[in-house]
Structure 1
Amino acid sequence: MFKLRRNVQTLYKNFNQLNLKSKNFYSDLTIDQQKYVNTLYEGVVNNRRAELAKAITLIETTNPIKKLLSQNLLNSVLHRLKNKKENNEKITLRIGFTGPPGAGKSSLIESFGKYLTTQIGAKLAVLTVDPSSTSTGGSILGDKVRMPELSRDPNAYIRSSPNKCNLGGVTRTTLETIFLCEAANFDVVLVETVGVGQAEHTIVNMVDCMVLLIPPGSGDELQGLKKGIVELADIVAITKYDQNLMQEAVRVRSEYLSASKFVRRKSKNWSPRVILTSSREKTGIDELWKLLCEYKQTMLDNNEFYQKRQDQVKLWFWTHLKDNLLETLLSKKYLKDKIAKLEAEVIAGNMTPGQANDILINEFNNQISK
């Protein structure tokens, strides 16, 4: 264990030697490329949908040249967001909606979104994540079909993105997309995940407040606690509180209220709330918004709002670093044959996966040191 930890630390220490360019990496653009980035940036900050859509597509790319353009764009966006904070401009609220399939996420998002745009007068961005096929890699991206009214609303913007088989319920670029929407002066950015499971906790590390949607008949409160995601929710919304499901919804609400007493609180200043909602009857929509506003103000008053965001970007820094280190390892030609041989040794039972990993890291470190 000590040896493995030492190898990983050495790998991090030598990361700056992996043929990376200097800080000028993000500024070495041609005149035409810089003009294109400037056009996208101006379009984003002026809330022009076409440029915003192009900017999101750009940051989702893996093409090295386009990735260079996206990093330049993001640098300008981050500078804009920093100025907004220093000038005490209106804060964009990031909300995460998650829940099991069939919980009514899309229906509630449309009802809640229409309430924000028509009753509150807010500008809303909805970022939805569609699961990608593990066999073909394709995604349907049909969320606008499930939100017909909101998709026609001039004060709402809906963007669907494939998760590219990433665990966590979101994509690797969802946080950067949120930054673009904040620069475009949206009042609320709502992120919907592909579903909920024990692995899909990533969304909590990129939003200010997480809303967990639970449909009636989802099991007892113990099953809810076992999912793990419940302890990360700031607000639990019991959906489909209408018609024949009203009694069942009340029962589920009581069970989750009881279960929440045994869940460790994320913040000493906020206790999770459990409410009843109905997309069909528009029940609980205004209460949900009031709770979100109360949560935001509570976090701001207790200096937790921006601290949470700082912790989130720090976590994402390490997440991206680990992913990039893995990609770097796999891209080295002198390691490909070594990896194949080590895989064969592990499968044959001649060494453990941990031993093979130590050998591979040592080989990588030796090549860097030359």
Structure 2
Amino acid sequence: MDIQELAEKVLAGERRALARAITLIESRRPDHRAEAAELLDVVKRSDRQALRIGLSGTPGVGKSTFIESFGMMLTAKGLRVAVLAVDPSSARSGGSILGDKTRMERLSRDPRAFIRPSPSQSELGGVARRTREAVALCEAAGYDVVLIETVGVGQSETVVAEMSDLFVLLLAPAGGDELQGVKRGIMEIADIILVNKADGELKPAAMRTCADYAGALRLLRKRPQDPDNFPKARTVSALQEGGLEDAWADMITLSDWRRETSHWDARRASQARHWFEEEVRLGALARLSQDKELSALMDQLGTEVAKGLTSPRAAAERVIAKLNAV
């Protein structure tokens, strides 16, 4: 594969080249990993930035419907929108449906939009291992907004916040009371809470839920990266496309304020450091499986731990000591 040629096509905004590039960075083959690193180094020189929006919520809350309506609104404004959708993988077979493009039929046909579903595989936190690198490729390809849709998550799965500029939490009506909103975890990192399905018979319930969470947000400690009135909660209807313009206006207001006050650059620098440290940890774990002697020791100690002959902590210390000695 000619990496330089592929990089030039990505920088030119060719969708097919972007799809090939994401396939390359998701590959686990050692030769592909080397080519992926080279590709990322080349496209990084463009220094393009998009607005990265992480979107999370419980299963069935309407994330795909919201993204399609929201994406169509943005493309109508002349913006180019990339959607990176992470689909849950089966714990048994490892397979994944990857049906997001089917759900977003209108948006998938829009020439200003690019949709890429990826399997979560064994990764925790609602995102795939290489989602961050896929975001960088979409930025290099000239997309103005990158939407990162996580799998249906709970309160502790917050990895998407480490690769996005804004984190939007999508909730369903009657999804909890004010006490539920005070709970730590995913609520603490949300920049904007959108209560979806505020239409028809569910509209009164959506209004009550929004009020509960708005009250909960006022009880959380003020964050330095937020202007007045943020984080905030509001209602939207993805089905009837209600409230989307107001939600977008909030996102622009927040992102502009963070750019003007240097929080934007500081956040991206902190995220870069986080992913550097994460790559080091993943590399150290990979070494355990690649080194034959260490792998054999892992198997031996794993058997001893399973039989109750040694404790997990003591076995781990022996592996770490051996790793330090190598």
Superimposed CA distance per residue, residues 237-263 of structure 1 (whole angstroms, 9 cap, x where no aligned partner): 010000001110010011001111222
Say if 2:47 is the partner of 1:77. Answer: no
TM-score (norm 1): 0.85
Kindly indicate whether the alpha-carbon contact (under 8 Å) linking 1:123 and 1:186 is maintained by their aligned counterparts in 2.
yes
CA 141–268 in structure 1, closer or farther in 2 if over 3 Å, else same:
closer
**CA–CA distance in structure 2, aligned partners of residues 223 and 269 of structure 1:** 22
Counterparts of residues 299-314 of structure 1 (less than 5 Å): 299-314=258-273
- Give the drift of 1:265: 3.5
Mean alpha-carbon deviation: is it higher for 132-141 or for 333-342? Answer: 333-342
Helix, strand or coil at the partner of 1:38: helix
- Give the drift of 1:182: 0.6
Q: Residue 9 of structure 2 corresponds to which residue in structure 1?
A: 43
**CA–CA distance in structure 1, aligned partners of residues 23 and 258 of structure 2:** 33
Question: Aligned letter for 1:334?
Answer: E
Match of 1:204 among 152, 161, 171: 161
**CA–CA distance in structure 1, aligned partners of residues 85 and 222 of structure 2:** 27
Q: Residue 144 of structure 2 corresponds to which residue in structure 1?
A: 187
Question: Aligned letter for 2:294?
Answer: L
**CA–CA distance in structure 2, aligned partners of residues 44 and 268 of structure 1:** 33
Helix, strand or coil at the partner of 1:185: coil
- Give the drift of 1:149: 0.8
Match of 2:19 among 50, 53, 65: 53
Question: Aligned letter for 1:215?
Answer: A
Match of 1:241 among 183, 195, 198: 198
Helix, strand or coil at the partner of 2:194: strand
Helix, strand or coil at the partner of 1:125: strand
Counterparts of residues 1-370 of structure 1 (less than 5 Å): 33=1, 36-81=2-47, 84=48, 91-118=49-76, 120-226=77-183, 228-270=185-227, 271-366=230-325, 368=326
Gap runs ≥5 in structure 1: 1-32, 85-90
Kindly indicate whether the alpha-carbon contact (under 8 Å) linking 2:51 and 2:165 is maintained by their aligned counterparts in 1.
yes
- Give the drift of 1:227: 6.3
CA 247–310 in structure 1, closer or farther in 2 if over 3 Å, else same:
same
Question: Aligned letter for 1:93?
Answer: L
- Give the drift of 1:267: 2.9
Kindly indicate whether the alpha-carbon contact (under 8 Å) linking 1:231 and 1:265 is maintained by their aligned counterparts in 2.
no
Question: Aligned letter for 1:157?
Answer: F
Kindly indicate whether the alpha-carbon contact (under 8 Å) linking 1:59 and 1:70 is maintained by their aligned counterparts in 2.
yes
Question: Aligned letter for 1:61?
Answer: S
Helix, strand or coil at the partner of 1:80: coil
CA 140–227 in structure 1, closer or farther in 2 if over 3 Å, else same:
farther
- Give the drift of 1:348: 3.4
Helix, strand or coil at the partner of 2:46: helix
- Give the drift of 1:214: 0.5
Number of aligned residue pairs: 324
Kindly indicate whether the alpha-carbon contact (under 8 Å) linking 1:56 and 1:180 is maintained by their aligned counterparts in 2.
yes
**CA–CA distance in structure 2, aligned partners of residues 268 and 125 of structure 1:** 25
Superimposed CA distance per residue, residues 57-88 of structure 1 (whole angstroms, 9 cap, x where no aligned partner): 0010011111111111111011222xx4xxxx
Question: Aligned letter for 1:96?
Answer: G
- Give the drift of 1:345: 2.8
Gap runs ≥5 in structure 2: none
**CA–CA distance in structure 1, aligned partners of residues 221 and 161 of structure 2:** 15
**CA–CA distance in structure 2, aligned partners of residues 109 and 269 of structure 1:** 24
Superimposed CA distance per residue, residues 256-284 of structure 1 (whole angstroms, 9 cap, x where no aligned partner): 01111222344353320111100122111
Superimposed CA distance per residue, residues 95-152 of structure 1 (whole angstroms, 9 cap, x where no aligned partner): 011000111111111111111011x210100110001111111111110111111011
**CA–CA distance in structure 2, aligned partners of residues 46 and 167 of structure 1:** 33
TM-score (norm 2): 0.96
**CA–CA distance in structure 2, aligned partners of residues 265 and 136 of structure 1:** 44
- Rg larger in 1 or in 2? 1
Coordinate RMSD, CA, aligned: 1.4
Kindly indicate whether the alpha-carbon contact (under 8 Å) linking 1:133 and 1:165 is maintained by their aligned counterparts in 2.
no
Mean alpha-carbon deviation: is it higher for 290-299 or for 259-268? Answer: 259-268
**CA–CA distance in structure 2, aligned partners of residues 224 and 138 of structure 1:** 34
Helix, strand or coil at the partner of 2:308: coil
Mean alpha-carbon deviation: is it higher for 249-258 or for 344-353? Answer: 344-353
Kindly indicate whether the alpha-carbon contact (under 8 Å) linking 2:181 and 2:212 is maintained by their aligned counterparts in 1.
no
Mean alpha-carbon deviation: is it higher for 342-351 or for 41-50? Answer: 342-351
Question: Aligned letter for 1:241?
Answer: A
**CA–CA distance in structure 1, aligned partners of residues 187 and 73 of structure 2:** 26
**CA–CA distance in structure 2, aligned partners of residues 216 and 116 of structure 1:** 25
